[in-house]
Amino acid sequence: MILDKLINYLKLDKQEFIFQFNSHPNYPSALAFSDTLNFMGLKNEAYELDKEYWDELPEEFITIVDQSFSVVKKTGTQYSIYSDTTQIINKKELYQKTSEFVLLFEKTENVYQRYIYDFKYFIYSIILIFILYSALNHIWYEFIFNILSLVGLYVSLEIYNQKFGNTSSIINTICGNIPSVNQNTNSCNKIISEDKAHILGLKFSDFSLIYFIGLSILGLFLPTTSFIIKGFTFASAIAIAYSLYIQAVKEKQFCLVCLLIISILTLQIGVSFFLFESLIFNYNILLLAIILWLTAAATIIYLNIIFQEKETLQKSNARNLRFKRNYDIFKRELLENERINFKDNQTFSLGSKDAKIHISLVSNLYCGFCKEAHKILKDLLKKYPNDISIQIRFNYTLERTDEKLNRLISKLIYLYKNKSEDIFLDAIEDWFISRNKNTIKANIDENFNQEDLEPLVNISKENSLAGLNFTPVFIINGYQFPEKYDREDIYYFIEDLIEDENI
């Protein structure tokens, strides 16, 4: 189940979606699919709906088309289907290919964020420098040749990127609506994924990337390298013939992105043959070119090994997480802990007072790990404002503090009593980010007076009597969050907890 078009249409992170879907305890059920969308920030509800009522559905909804989860978008009398591929069908075909399962969705802010450094601006800078250098130092046909190499390198890199499960915008754009004979995937994906060529672990698409890496670098030294480049461009005719044979004879379908690369290679053959000067052959340049391509090949082989190992570990991790994210197991671990009954549940109490799920956070203003715990609570409260209540229980004693900290705590109590929940939570977040006692000064009225700190002292005593001296600790309806789970795992179980009448 690839779901490329569905994931691309919904603008989801493909790798994260596939990982979360595969690691769900009920994979590959509709429940797993729905829960994954919820986790990725796409709020949804599932229904069994007779097709006589489907005309009343919104313009976009999700159902199962040909045994695959699909986004359906109504356009007049036609329906666009986004799943592994994109197709357009009429109402009769839609009803024939679907069950009565319908999932209605709305986009909300994504709670889970992936913080990965984005190298695209660095890559764009390199490309810009490459273009400027070629424009300033080469005559027009050498510049054209280098631009073709750069385009070929970019397309080859996109193919390589897609090989390891990443969504490629250029391949989706070029091959988006071109179906294959099989109909289970588009022709580009079929040709690329069924690449049978293997030399030292390198596939045909890998050689394309290696070739354009070498050609791009050698192109910077034109016309000195023109003789070597001309020889290698002529040799690329073998690759062109092989690719056309695979597409036309063996697979009997054409891959548009492959044809784009073939067009680039053909144009480069023409430019080098008709416009490049025939310089004297230089053994030193040939040796450097061979070393360059061997280095590129060794790098790609190494990256293949690394990415394949990573992919294997991700699959193994996904299988293990199906066990860890089983709600019944989590519930059993949660309820095994002795229940804690706090007398003070009012101080720093936020959210819905009538909620079935009450989460207490035992925290400390000088605890570095508490920063992330407070963020989790803030995220949950924002997403489920009517379904949960929370209480922040600071460990605080007058004997172990100073006047500045007393003033800070007093300000927090003032904000809690006189300002909105958002301002109060933002003030705590500001403190953990900057550790500056003056960061919340702007929200304090000029007539602010020292607040009574006795309630916090009592809370701290209750925490200590319950053995909650280390922070942060989550308490869910009186039960301590299981130590076998990471705090972030609460994201996966919160909806089950809300729906569980026994909790």
Strand (E) or helix (H) holding 475: strand 473-476
CB 269 within 8 Å of CB 234: yes
pLDDT at position 184 over 50: no
pLDDT band (50, 70, 90) for residue 113: very low
Domain residue spans in the chain? 4-107, 123-314, 338-499
The pair of structure tokens assigned to 176 is: 């988006």
Distance, CA of 65 to CA of 406 (rounded, Å)? 62
State how far the alpha carbon of 212 is from the alpha carbons of 17, 106, 144, 208, 247, in Å: 32, 43, 14, 6, 21
Ordered strands of the 98-107 beta sheet: 42-48, 98-107, 60-65, 68-75, 78-82, 86-90
E strands in 272-399: 349-351, 357-363, 388-394
pLDDT band (50, 70, 90) for residue 189: low
Does the CA dihedral 49-50-54-55 come out positive or negative?
A: negative
Q: Give this prediction's pTM.
A: 0.56
CB 151 within 8 Å of CB 79: no
Convert the pLDDT of each residue in 65-107 to its tens digit: 888 888 888 887 888 888 877 788 888 888 888 888 888 887 6
Distance, CA of 341 to CA of 413 (rounded, Å)? 23
Q: For residue 10, what pLDDT is reported?
A: 82
CATH code of the domain made up of 4-107: 3.90.70.10
State how far the alpha carbon of 159 is from the alpha carbons of 163, 165, 188, 191, in Å: 6, 10, 10, 11
CB 365 within 8 Å of CB 400: no
pLDDT at position 41 over 80: no
pLDDT band (50, 70, 90) for residue 150: very high
pLDDT band (50, 70, 90) for residue 392: very high
SS3 66: coil
Q: Do domains 4-107 and 123-314 have the same CATH topology?
A: no
CATH of 338-499, one of 3.40.1010.10, 3.40.50.10140, 3.40.50.2300, 3.40.30.10: 3.40.30.10
Local structure of residue 179 (DSSP, 8 states): B
* Secondary structure of 399-468 as H, E, C letters: HHCCHHHHHHHHHHHHHHHHCCHHHHHHHHHHHHHHCCCCCCHHHCCCCCCCCCCHHHHHHHHHHHHCCC
CATH code of the domain made up of 123-314: 1.20.1440.130
